[in-house]
Amino acid sequence: MSRIKTLQALFKRYRRPGDIVFAWIALAVAVFLLSQIFAQTAYKPNGKLFAQPRFWPAVSLIGMTGFAAFHLLGSMLSERIEGRWTEVWLWVCSFEFAFWFVAYAAIVPWAGYLPSTIVFALLLTIRAGYRSRIILISATASAIGIVLLFKAFLQVKLPAGQVYEVLPDGLRQLMLTYF
């Protein structure tokens, strides 16, 4: 009897509230990808099975679909966990930071690397809930350090920014080269 109890404890899995939603999404993605296998891969006549361009992608997608189906089945047979939609909303909210990055990438060619980095560092610091003067100064210093590291030290080629065109010649050349 104690051996069964030990095995049950060994194979007991921790489940998050959004587990079943994740299982449905994983299965839907796997089935969609598997449905595209014939349109997206080739078949070479007279080729060996393991050398076919379609073979290994098909093996991986069949495995992905099977494991996603088992995950869904396990989630459906387990007891329901409260807080499912709270967990899913947390996943959705994480996409906000992808939008911040897209906005930053769109602004850099217009405003320049240094001003954009400083502004977005400050905005994200405030968005994260930090509003003290020392934290905001630290965020600004970090942004300047990042710009100097990438532009001046590593010499990464980044968009200069259209706003730099209105600067006087000497300052404009300095900003274009190092900031």
Residue percentage of the chain with pLDDT more than 90: 54
Q: Which of 4-18, 63-77, 81-95, 152-166 has the lowest mean pLDDT?
A: 4-18
In the prediction, which pLDDT does 74 show?
A: 87
Does the pTM of the predicted model rise above 0.75?
no
The domain segmentation of the chain, as residue ranges, is 14-92, 94-178
Contact 57, 126 (CB under 8 A): no
In the prediction, which pLDDT does 95 show?
A: 93
Higher local confidence (pLDDT), 147 or 82: 147
In the prediction, which pLDDT does 65 show?
A: 97
Inter-residue long-range contacts of 29-36, CB under 8 Å, 24+ positions, other chains counted: 29/68, 30/61, 30/64, 30/65, 30/68, 31/65, 33/61, 33/64, 34/58, 34/61, 34/62, 34/64, 34/65
**Opening angle at CA 81, ends 78 and 87, nearest 5:** 125
User: Please, what's the b/e burial string for 55-85 (b: 16 or more CB within 10 A of its CB; e: otherwise)?
Assistant: eebeeebeebbeebeebbeebeeeeeeeeee
In the prediction, which pLDDT does 124 show?
A: 97
Contact 69, 25 (CB under 8 A): no
If one counts every other C-beta atom within 10 angstroms of the C-beta of residue 108, the result is 19
Q: Which of 1-5, 16-20, 53-57 has the lowest mean pLDDT?
A: 1-5
pLDDT tens digits, 76-134: 887 877 888 888 898 899 999 999 999 999 999 999 889 999 999 999 999 999 999 99
